[in-house]
Every structure is written in C-alpha cells, then in structure tokens.
Amino acid sequence: MSAPVFISYSSKDRDIAETICKALEARGLECWISSRDVHPGENFQEAIVRALRAARVMLLVFTSNANNSDEIKKELVLAGRHRVTIVPVRVEDVVPNDAFTYEFATRQWIDLFNNWEDEIEMLATQLGHVLQTPKAGDGAGGEAAGAPLPRRRFVARSSNRPLLAAAAIVAVVVVAGGGAYFLRTDARVSPGAPAKPVATAEQPAAPAPATAKLPPPAASALLPPAQPAAAPAPSPAPEPVVQPAAVPAPPPEPQPSAAKSPDEIAWDKAAAAGTRAALADYVKDFSNGAHVQEAQLRIADLILNGPATGKNFDGEWQTTWTCTNVGNFPGYSYRFAGQVKDGVYHGVKGVKGEPSSMVLDGKIEADGAAGFYGEIIVGSSVVALGAARGTPSDFHALAHFDGRSANGKRLEGRACTLTFAKE
C-alpha cells in the first residue's frame, strides 16, 4: 500500500503523528504512516523505501526526538533521491541541529503548537497545492512548484526581547508627550484676544457712613449706682431618680433548617454505607448528581485496595486509549499491550518515565468490575491541552470486563476512554 503523503516521525512521537495523520485524512488527504501501514511480518525498511518512492510529499513531524533521530536523516536522503517534496511540521518550539538546519534552509514549514485548527488547515491547503503540481525534475531538489507559503526561519528564543520592549515603551512615551504638548498649545489664549477680567480676592472697602451725633446723657446717669440686691437662698438638691433594671430579651427561637435535596440524602446514605454496591447505586440513580465523581473515585479505590478476584480474565489484552477534542486542542488515540495475571492488570505504552509514555495498573473483580490508576508523561503540548513536554499527569479509571472485551473511562480531567480486547 502507498499514499501521496508519507509521514516521517520519531517512534517516540507516535501519538502526535497519528493525530496529524487522522486530521489530514479527515480533510481528504491520503497518508502513509508506518505504525498503521507496515503489516505484521513485513520488512520495515523495505516498506519505508517503497512508500517513499511512491509518495509525492514527505511530511516530517519535527520534535526534539526527531532532531536526534538518525532514521529520519536516512528518510530525508531517500526523499531527496526520489525527488519527494519535504514539508517540515514543528509540534514543539525546537531549533534544528546542524544537520537539519542544512536540510531546512530552503524549506517551508508550519508550526502546529500555536493554533492547531488554523495551522492544520494551512498544512492541508499547502499539501493540496503540492499534490496538484507535477513532480519536480532532476534539478529541482524535491521542492514544490506552486502556491508557496511565506518563508519562515527557525529562530531560537531571542534574548533581545527586553530591548524591543523598552523601545516600544519609549515610543509610547514620545507619542503621549506629543499629544499632551498639542493639548496645552490649544489651551493658550491667542495674541489678539481681549484679556478676560480677573477676579481679586479683596475688594476695596466701601466708604464709612458719617458719624451721627448722640444726645446728651440723661440725669439718671449722674446718680450713684444702686446697691445690689440680696442673693436668693439656694434651693434644695433634687432627689435622685432610680431607673428600673433592664429585663433581658428572651433568646431567639431556633429557625428550622432547610430540607435536604434527594441527591444529598442519597449521597449521605451511600457514603455512610461505604460499599461498592451502595456507591454504584448512587451513581446509577443520580447520574448527574453533585457527588458522582467522588462516588466513582471511592469505587476505584475500593477495587484497587481490595483483592483481585477476576482470575477468569487472565491473558493478553490489546488496550486503546482515546481522548476527545478540547477547544483548539485535538483529540488523539494510541494502542499498547497489557496483561492480566491473577486478576491484576499491567500495561505500558512507550518507555516508562519518558515523554509520550503511559503506565496503567489495575485490578479486576470476579464480576468484571475493574479499577485503574495510571500515569501519563506528556509527549507534545499540542495534544496535552498546552501542558509542557515531560509533564506527568496521573488519573483513575473505571471499567467493566465482559468475556473478551471491556470498556472504561477516565474519572478526572479530560474526557478519555479505555477499551480492551483479549488476544
């Protein structure tokens, strides 16, 4: 099987490469990716050579892992030999090393870590233009002929940003100062305008009226002063008034408390019982209740801390982890092998502790109820809701096993599902 778009990626970035593949195929572009299109028993190297020879475009998923991959360097050489157009796609803000800098000097590329929806549309459009043009001749070096995107340069994080910010601040101050200068100029009085009267704090005093002549004093004014009258006898002091003691007010009567909702009553009953059956009944009866997540987490803990009695499910299980889109962050899905022994499940995707890895452990009970605890190490911020590469994220999950299949879901955070198929 071959396809016009060959997706080149590091094996450590399989999840993001498959996400890009699905996004392009949803937009009508046929892709070839080794994780899906190299069949069991097929020679891996030969399959890659055949696919590259038939491809029109090599889409390079560029990350820090790809930056150090010798296998991708070999694929670049093969793409040049077969005149395949190379389109680098960065999913991390990584500057290429010397070998890739030489390869990308004249290439066009797209960054998917800024705005997934806009950039994936731009990528699909660019690939469509490349596929519509004839394959380049011997001297073309694998470059596309039509509808190029603006050239971009890989640039490391600049240390001159503080200087640019200071220059911007100076420019704002100059503009603001100029505006203030013109405002002051407009407020000045023009030379020919008449002066406005100015009010003073003091006004001249009014002239004092003429002094009137007084009549001569009366005869009584010449007599000696009269003797003072005797002082009146003091009145007796008033009797003190005794105020009655204040009577304390009676305490307020207790108000009846508001009645609990059926949800709260059911939760109190389930939490008091503390059994898996009681908690499961609450979740069943109040699927949108206020305590559903807490009830599910308690169920998972009860299973994980109890004995694993589901030995009838022992064997190899192919596990698929799928997360849905969240805003501009795309969903993704990946598969890995797991094993159940004596009712205990263990599965690992990738290399434990490394980016793009997942470790999942759980226990299964005889009736098929299963609880899990897992840890993911972020491989790319594009599919991890902006979390930085290498960030750990742990979670709980519940599932139910039935015969040779099982289905479950993550309990915290982003909505993700687990499916299991017995091999």
Q: What is the rounded CA–CA span in Å between residue 236 and residue 386?
A: 92
Q: The pTM is what?
A: 0.55
Residue-wise pLDDT for 344-369, tens only, equals: 999 999 999 988 899 999 999 999 99
- In this structure, the number of other CB atoms found within 10 A of the CB of residue 312 comes to 13
Torsions phi, psi of 250, nearest 5?
A: -65, 145
pLDDT of residue 117: 82
Q: Is 116 helix (H, G, I), strand (E, B) or coil?
A: helix
Q: What is the rounded CA–CA span in Å between residue 8 and residue 61?
A: 6
- Bridge partners, residue 110, by sequence: 89
pLDDT of residue 138: 44
344 DSSP assignment: E
- Say if residue 130's pLDDT is above 80: yes
> Which residues have a Cβ under 8 Å from the Cβ of 156 and sit 6 or more positions away?
95
- Bridge partners, residue 392, by sequence: 377
DSSP 153-186: ---PPPS-HHHHHHHHHHHHHHHHHHHHHHHHHH
Q: In what order do the strands lie in the sheet with 85-90?
A: 31-32, 5-8, 57-62, 85-90, 110-111
Mean confidence (pLDDT) of the chain: 77
pLDDT of residue 183: 41
The residue among 216 and 61 whose pLDDT is bigger is 61
CB 419 within 8 A of CB 405: yes
pLDDT of residue 216: 46
Torsions phi, psi of 190, nearest 5?
A: -65, 150
Average pLDDT over residues 75-91: 90
Q: What is the rounded CA–CA span in Å between residue 144 and residue 85?
A: 6
Report which of 151, 74, 148, 61 is spatially closest to residue 106, judged by C-alpha positions.
151
CATH of the domain spanning 5-140, picked from 3.40.50.720, 3.60.21.10, 3.40.50.10140, 3.40.50.10470:
3.40.50.10140
The residue among 222 and 318 whose pLDDT is bigger is 318
Element (H, E) at 208: none
CA 308 to chain centre: 37
pLDDT of residue 54: 92
Q: What is the rounded CA–CA span in Å between residue 3 and residue 26?
A: 15
Residue-wise pLDDT for 253-297, tens only, equals: 655 556 889 999 999 999 999 999 999 999 999 999 999 999 999
170: tokens are: 């100076």
Residue-wise pLDDT for 340-350, tens only, equals: 999 999 999 99
CA 388 to chain centre: 11
384 DSSP assignment: T
pLDDT band at 118 (very low <50, low <70, confident <90, very high): confident
Residue-wise pLDDT for 5-60, tens only, equals: 999 999 888 889 999 999 999 999 999 999 899 988 889 899 999 999 999 999 99
- Say if residue 143's pLDDT is above 50: no
What pairing do the DSSP bridges indicate for beta strands 392-402 and 405-410? antiparallel
Query: Is the CATH number of domain 311-422 2.40.128?
Result: yes
Query: Residues 246, 251, 254, CA angle at the centre, nearest 5°?
Result: 165
Report which of 289, 336, 291, 344 is spatially closest to residue 317, judged by C-alpha positions.
336
Q: Taking the domains of the chain in order of start, what are their residue ranges?
A: 5-140, 264-304, 311-422
Alpha carbon dihedral 243, 246, 247, 253, in 10-degree steps, equals 150
Element (H, E) at 401: strand 392-402
pLDDT band at 135 (very low <50, low <70, confident <90, very high): low
Tell me if domain 5-140 and domain 311-422 are identical in fold: no
CB 23 within 8 A of CB 5: no
Query: Residues 330, 335, 390, CA angle at the centre, nearest 5°?
Result: 60
Q: Which ranges of 55-160 does DSSP label H, i.e. alpha helix? A: 64-67, 70-81, 98-104, 116-132
370: left (phi over 0), alpha (psi -120 to 50) or beta: beta
